[in-house]
Structure formats: C-alpha cells, structure tokens
Chains A and B, each alone.
Chain A
Amino acid sequence: MAVKPRTLREAQTTYSTNSELAWWVFMRVSGLALIFLVFGHVFFNNLAFNAGEIDYTYVARRFSRSWVKVYDTFLLGFAMLHGVNGLRYSIEDYVREPGRRFWAKVALYTVVGVLLVLGTMTLWAFSYEEMGDAVRAL
C-alpha cells in the first residue's frame, strides 16, 4: 500500500481482512469440529476396539468404507491445519532469531505439506478391497 496506517482506526480499516484474524477464527471453528471428530476417532479405534490388536486387516477394512474415507479426510484436513498453525504460534513465540525462525517455518510447512499429500493418498488412492470377501466379511 502507498501510505502506512498511522492510527489504530486506520490500521483496523486497512487490515480488516488480516489473515491472522482468519487463523484466529479458524482455530476456534476447527477446534470445535475436532472435538467431535477426534473423540469419535478415539472412541472407534481405542475404546470400541483394543488398539493393541490393530493390524493391516483392521485398517484396510476401515479404509474400504466410503464414510471412513470422508470422515478421515475432514479429520486429516482440520487436524493438520489446526496443528500446523499451533506449531507456527509456538515457533513465533520461542524462535526469536529471524533466520532460524524462517527456516523452522520452511521445515514445518514442508513436512506438513508432504504428510497432507501422503495422508490424502492413503485415504483415496486405494480401494483396500484387494483382500475381497476376506476384508468385507470381517
């Protein structure tokens, strides 16, 4: 912009579409959604089932169901974005030196980007029905 805001009122008008405000709102909205998504996830896989018995067959059976793919996509997306923004807050609080802060963020966004792609592939690139009736009969 040509002229920098010099008063609080000018700043508020100028930065009314501030991305920090959007992230602030997102943390609360996604947090609320994640309470239901994560509690459900923990209930299905740790309480309704013995997590110590989880194996390939169990996960393949889950991922062969459409509703699990959709449910886990929302879980993955909300959790990763909520998590990456929380880690960004932490980096900005504790990594004060600008160079180190920059590279910490580059590393964070790289890892999260790769894992978002990996997670989405895991959910959608395979039908997990290669075991056929053996999976569906469980």
Chain B
Amino acid sequence: MYRGREGQWAFVLHRLSGVALALYLLLHVLDISLVMYGPEGPFNTFLAFYHQWPFRVGLILVMAAVVYHAFNGLRIILMDFTDWGTKYHRQLWYGVLGATTVVGIPVLLKVVPEILGVGHGG
C-alpha cells in the first residue's frame, strides 16, 4: 500500500531536499560571513569561485529543492490539520509536483541564459 507509491516518494524527496537544504544553509552562512573581513578580505575571491558554472547549476538544484520542500511542506500541513488532507494525499502530491514545475520554468528561463552568458549584459 505504502512502499514504492506516491506517499513514499513524497517522503523520500522531502527528506533528501531537506537534508540537502540544511547542509547548503550551513555552507551559505559560513561563506556569507566572510563579508566581515571587509572589501579587501577573501569574500570576492570565494564568490568568484562560486560563480563557476557547476556551482550555478548547483544553485538551480538548491532552488528546486526549496520549491519542492515548500510545496510538499504545505501538503504535510494540510494532511495534519484538515480532515480531508490524508484522503487526497496522492492528488495533493501531484499538485506539489505540478506547482514545483510551474514555479521552476520561469526560474530556469531567467537563470540558464545567465549561466550560458547570453543574459542581459552578462
């Protein structure tokens, strides 16, 4: 009933995206804290490193994780606090995937050209 069906995939993706986001958050706080060393400090060097395309692609994955985790989190809240949420949890999960895609497409249209260097001004 449960294993391999929508409910388990929803959980696995929520867990994976959550752990990934938490680890990214720790790294993100650490690198942004380098601004404390001032304009002559190591901040710009580190940022230039992160501006390489593999990290920009990684940032797209981080944003995808944010959007999925947010919408599936709403699904969890609906399952916990409404009397119909659990009954329609499968439909809600397809809604989560749909909403993630709908939000993701304009983000890709904005960010991918920037990474390819064909955006406004580069």
Contacts and interface: CB of A to CB of B under 8 A. Distances in A.
Contact of B77 (A32, A76, A79, A118): A32
Contacts of A76: 29
Contacts of B114: 50-52
Given A46-B111, A115-B29, A86 B22 contact: yes
B39 to A, nearest CB: 5
B119 interface: yes
A87 B25 contact: no
A60 B35 contact: yes
Q: How large is the interface on A (under 10, 10 to 19, 20 to 34, 35 or more residues)?
A: 35 or more
B73 A83 contact: no
Q: Is the interface of A mostly helix, strand, loop or mixed?
A: helix
A23 interface: no
Interface in B39-73: 39, 41, 43-44, 47, 51, 56, 59, 63, 66, 70, 73
Interface of B: 15, 18-19, 21-22, 25-26, 29-30, 32-33, 35-36, 38-39, 41, 43-44, 47, 51, 56, 59, 63, 66, 70, 73-74, 76-77, 80-81, 107, 110-111, 114-115, 119
